Each structure stands twice: as structure tokens, then as C-alpha cells.
Chain A
């Protein structure tokens, strides 16, 4: 049902007088978001309704858990990224590893040369038989 602007002006006045019902306030909120309500006559009521709406939302009992959930989600995402970064770094390090350890101690030696010698010895043994 479409009302004249005078109806909404009267409703706004009743709103400030605290004479409106919940249904009328809901209607007024919807109207204030409409194109017809973009008039300076409704600025005051729009500001008041918006302010109260925001206050109600932030003070509602559901708001705090929602914020906690959001923080938790952000922390979980940050933790996932850290772990992914660590695994990537670990994989990169493993890929480029080249180490020689004697008696469990790292020593400066050419791992590539040692590998070639060990593999050559493995194949160049007596009774070697190639497939």
C-alpha cells in the first residue's frame, strides 16, 4: 500500500512521541530506505532510526560471539598460512639439501663426489651382472 509523504511525516512525529507500534516502526524503517524518503524532511528521523538500529545490533547478545568467531576465523587463517609457508620452506630446504655427516657430525665435503663414488662402487663389483 502506497502512502502520501504527509502520512510518513505524521508517522515520524508519532515516532518521536513514542506512539508508534513495532509494525509501524518497521514500516518506517523500510520507507526511510526508499527513494521517496530521500528528502531533507526525513533526515532527522532517518538519523535517529539508523543510530538506534546500529546501537541495538552492537549491544545484542549475538554480537559478541559473532565477533569472537570472526577473530577466531582470522587467527585460524593466519595459522594455516604460517603452516603452509613453513611446509613450503621445509620442502624447498629438503629439495636443496646436500649434506655429508661423519659419525653424526656435519662435515665439509662434496656430497656429489661421494655419491658418484658410492654408486660406482656399487656397480663395479666382482661378479657384477647387468640385466
Chain B
């Protein structure tokens, strides 16, 4: 009986660990800011992203973000960026690739202008080069 209960708890534990972006600081941005009036949140699962070889797309877009909102997201992105294995920072955007796990890539895309702010979290097997080729116009 105890062993079965332990098995159930392990099953739940594994599942919680598998939940996307858990453990990342930017999770707070999605949790806190996605309900703001100027926020748009997009979530897409693997079933809709097969052709891009991605497993998860999660974005937060904010129109005319306030300085406080910008600072908050900036701080969270910087926290996760500290563990990035690859970074691409330009005046227009910032891309961070986090530690790969079992052939899976984890990316954080961040772009901030006066008019809008975009924070995107992506998981999948596609490399950054492939992602660019899919979306770069």
C-alpha cells in the first residue's frame, strides 16, 4: 500500500517537473502581467507546432508598457539570462538559449521598444538557426 502511494506521489512529482518553464524567473512575468489590460498572451502546444519542430510557444506582448512593467520583466529576463549557454543581444532584441536537456532546446526571446514589449518562451528540437529560417521575413 505504502509503495503504491509512493508511486502515485512520484508520478505527480515527475509530472510537475515536466511542466513547461517551471523554475524559470520569467514564469512570474506570465503569471503576474498577463492579466494586465495592455497584455496579450499566446500559448501553443506541440500539436500545433509540429511543422516548426517546437513543443511549446508561450508569449507575452504588452502595448505601451509602463516603466515599472518594463523594469519587472527586464529583471526577470536578466535572472534567467544568467544561466544562458548562448546569448544574442542586439539593440532590437535579445535571445537566450538555456541549458539543453535530452536534445530539447529552451529559448527566451525578449524585445522592448517604446510602443511594445514582447517576451517569448520557446521549447523544442529546432535550433536557433532553424527558428530564424521559419520566421525571418
Q: Chain A contacts of B7 at CB under 8 A?
A: 80
CB-CB contacts of A110-131 with B at 8 A, as 1s and 0s? 0110111011111111111111
Please pick, from B4, B35, B88, B132, the residue contacting A104 in the complex, using a CB distance under 8 A.
B35
- What class of interface size applies to chain B in its complex with A? 35 or more
Please pick, from B88, B111, B134, B136, the residue contacting A131 in the complex, using a CB distance under 8 A.
B88
CB < 8 Å A-B pair total = 128
Q: Is B41 an interface residue (CB 8 A)?
A: yes
Q: How far is the CA of A100 from the CA of B34 in the complex (A)?
A: 11
Q: Chain B contacts of A127 at CB under 8 A?
A: 90-92
Q: Is B137 an interface residue (CB 8 A)?
A: yes
Check A119–B44 contact: CB distance below 8 A: no
Q: How many residues of A contact B (CB 8 A)?
A: 42
Q: Is A83 an interface residue (CB 8 A)?
A: yes
Q: How far is the CA of A102 from the CA of B46 in the complex (A)?
A: 22
